[in-house]
Amino acid sequence: GQQLNQSPQSMFIQEGEDVSMNCTSSSIFNTWLWYKQDPGEGPVLLIALYKAGELTSNGRLTAQFGITRKDSFLNISASIPSDVGIYFCAGHGSGTYKYIFGTGTRLKVLA
């Protein structure tokens, strides 16, 4: 199936550092969602974006819907050990309710 390009694939960072990851699509999306998945569990919704240019925060997390509507990024500020996990972006275009998922960014935080 179709997937979004998400980068980086994985990253190791020191506790307290900021993290940035992004997602790009070849087609225009109407909605972008960002999820975090811990091992053996289902994804948990972090942030939802519905308009081009929209910038939304959820605690230490900030996500933006790209102006071109073909990309989105997620920032995590002052990372902590519990930020470890896999982060997925997901999006859908017009005329469909089916979401496409990114390839995931595996985050590891070094204490």
Element (H, E) at 95: none
Q: Are residues 58 and 75 in contact, defined by beta-carbon separation less than 8 angstroms?
A: no
SS3 73: strand
Peptide bond into 81 cis (omega under 30): no
Q: Which residues contact 74 (CB under 8 A, 6 or more apart)?
A: 20, 21, 22, 23, 34, 46, 47, 61, 62, 63, 87, 89
Smallest gap from residue 26 Cβ to another protein (A):
16
Out of 8, 15, 16, 44, the only residue in the binding site for another protein (CB under 8 A) is 44
Q: Candidates 12, 40, 67, 111: give the one binding another protein (CB under 8 A).
A: 40
- Out of 5, 28, 50, 108, the residue judged to bind another protein by CB under 8 A: 50
Q: Which is nearer to another protein, 11 or 100 (CB)?
A: 100
Q: Is 42 in the site for another protein (CB under 8 A)?
A: yes
Regarding 48 and contact with another protein (CB under 8 A), the answer is yes
Instruction: Name the residues that contact another protein, by CB under 8 A.
Output: 1, 3, 31, 33, 35, 40-45, 48, 50, 88, 90, 92, 97-104
